[in-house]
């Protein structure tokens, strides 16, 4: 299988070398890797360009600085700037990958094998570990069964086309999962692989905890799932972060979007999402009771 990777980056000078070294040491190299510099004001661009001569499959694109971050939307816009350069190529899978990651040398090869072994697998990735904002110890980021973190996401080409690509707003990395399942594709992470996310959630320059969790609330309203499911997420995230402000900001983001009349996903999408949420609650309950299969199944 030929894989193509697109990596939108902005001000990643502290981390981008870890991501580049992780890719260059893979047992299976990508067919093409496009890194899109979304207006970095630090040395991110210089670091990337220093590797280009030794890695002919790498391509660097620079976008003029807009002067601020656009969480979610800016990432997708940068992704599609890179996509323009590869859409004419023959490939089998495409990935959106962040520039602040570190992962093992057999990651790409394992992902390709999973795609080859499971023809109905449309979206996959790996288990994410990151620092919390208060602790230095790396901890696993638990996601719902079938979800795949937006930081490292591989799409079978046919699945990517079926879902119409990525939506240009925050929440794209949840919408794609629901749409893929509506089309009959399987989704989920490969539990045997680890990904180290070096920049904790909410610490990106120009974002912060408040904006990050208000964004989560906005996404939940936009997607249109059950409110009780969202409220449960609020409680769980607040407890995990040991910070009641997390839940407050999530609720604020949700009700701000509701008050502003943000256009939501289609009724069919919302029905599919609510069905998926019920399935996840049932699965989680059975797992807690020791009656479910291993979480690694996708």
What would the pLDDT profile of 151-181 be if each residue is shown by its tens digit? 999 999 999 999 999 999 999 999 999 999 9
Which residues pair with residue 61 across a beta bridge?
Answer: 36
- Predicted local distance difference test score (pLDDT) of residue 156: 98
- Predicted local distance difference test score (pLDDT) of residue 226: 97
- State the Cα–Cα distance between residues 131 and 142, nearest whole angstrom: 13
- Predicted local distance difference test score (pLDDT) of residue 294: 38
All residue ranges of the chain with pLDDT < 70 are 67-72, 132-136, 200-207, 290-298
For the segment 244-296, what is each residue's pLDDT rounded down to a tens digit?
A: 999 999 999 999 999 999 999 999 999 999 999 999 898 888 777 765 443 33
- State the Cα–Cα distance between residues 189 and 123, nearest whole angstrom: 8
Nearest to 143 by CA among 286, 284, 290: 284
Q: Which residue has the tokens 């080859």?
A: 116
- For residue 148, give every residue at least 6 positions away whose Cβ sits within 8 Å of its Cβ, in sequence order, or none: 123, 124, 125, 173, 177, 187, 188, 189
Return the number of other C-beta atoms located less than 10 Å from residue 293's C-beta: 10
Torsion, Cα 144 228 76 208, to 10 degrees, reads -100
- Predicted local distance difference test score (pLDDT) of residue 137: 74
Q: What is the pTM of this model?
A: 0.90
Fold for domain 3-197?
Answer: Spore Coat Polysaccharide Biosynthesis Protein SpsA; Chain A (3.90.550)
- State the Cα–Cα distance between residues 131 and 298, nearest whole angstrom: 26
* Secondary structure E strands in 198-241: none
Delimit the domains of the chain by residue range: 3-197, 208-288
- Predicted local distance difference test score (pLDDT) of residue 284: 81
């Amino acid at each position: 299988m030929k894989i193509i990777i697109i990596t939108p980056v902005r001000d990643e000078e502290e981390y981008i070398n870890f991501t580049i070294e992780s890719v260059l040491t893979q047992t299976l190299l990508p067919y093409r890797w496009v890194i899109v510099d979304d207006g970095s004001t630090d040395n991110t661009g210089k670091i990337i360009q220093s590797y280009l001569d030794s890695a002919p499959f790498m391509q660097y694109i620079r976008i003029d600085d807009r002067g601020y971050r656009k969480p979610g939307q800016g990432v997708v816009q940068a992704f599609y700037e890179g996509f323009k350069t590869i859409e004419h190529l023959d490939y089998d899978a495409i990935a959106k990958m962040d520039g602040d990651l570190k992962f093992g040398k057999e990651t790409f090869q394992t992902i390709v094998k999973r795609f080859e072994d499971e023809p109905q697998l449309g979206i996959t990735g790996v288990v994410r570990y990151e620092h919390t904002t208060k602790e230095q110890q790396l901890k696993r980021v638990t996601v719902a069964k079938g979800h795949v973190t937006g930081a490292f996401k591989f799409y079978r080409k046919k699945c990517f086309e079926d879902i119409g690509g990525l939506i240009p707003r925050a929440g794209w990395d949840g919408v794609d999962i629901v749409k893929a399942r509506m089309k009959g594709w399987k989704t989920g992470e490969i539990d045997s692989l680890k990904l180290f996310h070096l920049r904790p959630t909410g610490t990106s320059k120009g974002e912060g905890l408040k904006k990050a969790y208000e964004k989560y609330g906005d996404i939940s309203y936009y997607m249109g799932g059950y409110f009780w499911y969202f409220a449960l997420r609020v409680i769980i995230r607040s407890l995990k972060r040991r910070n009641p402000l997390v839940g407050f900001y999530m609720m604020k983001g949700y009700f701000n979007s509701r008050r502003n009349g943000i256009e939501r996903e289609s009724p069919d999408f919302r029905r599919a999402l609510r069905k998926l949420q019920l399935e996840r609650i049932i699965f989680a309950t059975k797992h807690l009771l020791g009656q479910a299969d291993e979480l690694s199944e996708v």
